[in-house]
Amino acid sequence: MPTRRVRIPATKYPVERYTLDNGLRVVLTPDRSAPVIGVAVVYDVGIRSEPEGRTGFAHLFEHLMFQGSENLEKLAHFRHVQGAGGTFNGSTHLDYTDYFETLPSNALERALFLEADRMRGPRLTEENLRNQVDVVKEEIRVNVLNRPYGGFPWLTLPPVMFDTFPNAHDGYGSFVDLESATVADAADFFRRYYASGNAVLAVSGDIDVAEATTLIERHFSDVPARPAPRRPDFTEPDLTVERRSTYTDTLAPLPAVAGAWRVPDPIDDFAGYLPYVVLAEVLTDGDASRLVERLVQRDRTVTGLGGYLGFMGDPFDVRDPTALLLQAHLPPGGDVDKVLRTIDEEVDRLATDGLTQGELARTQARMATHLLRDTDAVLGRALRMAVLEQQRGEPGLLNELPRLVGEVTEEQVRAAAATLRPERRAAVEVIPGGAR
């Protein structure tokens, strides 16, 4: 019986894109349905770009960009956004750092002024640097060092899978590297990576394109032109022999394991990459998924598991090399080797026997729903389009993603599953040290 294809609803968000003389790329996507705007600025610098001896610097700099700028004192950004009824934040990823606001549409110029001012230059003082180093160190204590399964697996698996510094190092940062950072180091990092030619500005929501273009020119055209830096080489050979590692987590009450396999280049081989995105969901998304049904419900060898593309969990904002990850938490005394063998069995069964009736369509419908929901809000749309412009020069791909997911065939998913061989896997096991 032929596989039933799922019908995916399409979005038709309009896209206007252009580049200022200083190299800043701009993406506008008007939507007059509600008086709200999302503003996002994405810089092409992330954890993988930071130099040796400066681990955690990409994340540290995200903090420094909120400590005042050329014409604004410390905390002024907070006051101006919240005073207009808006919200704001920033985040650091493997391949980019973003800054964003959601505001009433009558505050568009305010948001543009704020972002342009810190693009010209944040306030890099000794006081600000030392204060934010302490803040980042406290984040590491709270989120990694003093939390069960802290950094698992996004910090603990890359050094097992990869050999080069960009891909394998701890992106949260070492205390030694953070404490040795100087204002001069920060200024150099800003000069190199926070260039107008290395950034994308995206505005989504209740805007008039002509008016927004005028305001963007007014506030960003005099930002000094600096070209994008040369991106470091992230190239890594694929694994040909399985790599395994274990460590004891003194706070973890139960064992856990995560495994990862390299996948095709998500930028240059997008058609080859998409089946792996679908495969991860077929294996782990929902109670009816392959591995949940087998490992959680039937065998009860794990208490929970998940699967996703990319070490930080978003398949459409990462460059090569990246991986398909599966992670599981086990009951007391659980057998990690048995769990990995069962995963291999189920993946082989999928590759050999194919999917059951309706399995692929159900998975694709869920995925499309998530994609549509994530970009329904104006900020989600601005962020996604900014990253798609940054990495691909295709912000309009946002409209195509649900359809492209729905066009992945059973044969493509089976072929992807056939490549998840044990000899291509990197795995890390958490030995619990916190059981009582």
The predicted-structure confidence for 50-68, as pLDDT tens digits, reads as follows 999 999 999 999 999 999 9
Please name which of 317, 306, 316 lies closest in space to residue 153, comparing C-alpha atoms.
306
H-helix or E-strand containing 338? helix 336-353
- pLDDT of res. 5: 63
pLDDT of residue 435: 54
Residues 44, 96 contacting (CB under 8 angstroms): yes
Closest-CA residue to 371 (of 399, 394, 409): 399
Strand pairing category for 87-92 and 36-43: unpaired
> What is the distance between the alpha carbons of residues 325 and 313, in angstroms, rounded to a whole number?
9
Q: Residue 232: is the preceding peptide bond cis (ω within 30°)?
A: no
Instruction: Report residue 47 as tokens.
Output: 């954890």
Closest CA to 47 of 169, 183, 158: 169
Structure confidence by residue, pLDDT tens digits, 380-393: 999 999 999 999 99
Distances (CA, A) of 431 to 151, 155, 331, 334, 338: 14, 16, 12, 10, 15
pLDDT in tens, 326-373: 999 999 999 999 999 999 999 999 999 999 999 999 999 999 999 999
End-to-end CA distance of the chain: 53
Given a cut of 70, the residues of the chain with pLDDT beneath it are 1-6, 434-436
Q: What is the pLDDT of residue 286?
A: 87
CA–CA dist 14, 30 (Å, integer): 7
Q: Which residues of 122-154 are buried (b: 16+ CB within 10 A; e: fewer)?
A: bbbeeebbeebbeebbeebeeebeeebbbbbbb
pLDDT at 1: 43
**What is the rounded radius of gyration, in angstroms, for the C-alpha atoms of the chain?**
23
> What pLDDT shows up at residue 70?
87
Average pLDDT, rounded, for the chain: 95
All structural domains of the chain, each given as residue ranges with its CATH number in brackets, are 16-221 (3.30.830.10), 243-432 (3.30.830.10)
